[in-house]
Amino acid sequence: MAILVNLDVIMAKRKISAGELSDKIGITPANLSILKNNKAKAIRFSTLEEICRVLDCQPGDILEFKRKGE
């Protein structure tokens, strides 16, 4: 996948657990796990906005573009 989700890095820096984050942003722990493990095919802007609000970060802190083969 060309878009990588670095959510676990930001979560560790902010010292927040997956359970706590999922509660605060209003998604299930299972869906958060799918997102964290780069298994998601898409993310809603509303979810991304909530993640950025709770973690006090920018979308670019979480999402990274990698060219295939890099």
Enumerate the domain spans of the chain: 3-65
The rounded Cα 25 to chain-centroid distance in angstroms is 11
Q: What are the CA-CA distances from residue 20 to residues 2, 4, 34, 55, 66 (Å)?
A: 28, 22, 16, 11, 29
pLDDT band for position 1 (cuts 50, 70, 90): low
The CATH number corresponding to 3-65 among 1.10.260.40, 2.30.40.10, 3.40.50.970, 2.50.20.10 equals 1.10.260.40
Tell me, what's the pLDDT at 68?
78
The rounded Cα 30 to chain-centroid distance in angstroms is 13
pTM equals: 0.89
Site of tokens 């979480």: 62
47 and 25 Cβ atoms separated by less than 8 Å: yes
Give tens-digit pLDDT for 3-61: 999 999 999 999 999 999 999 999 999 999 999 999 999 999 999 999 999 999 999 99
pLDDT band for position 70 (cuts 50, 70, 90): low
Give the angle subtended at the CA of 48 by the CAs of 32 and 38, to the nearest 5°: 45
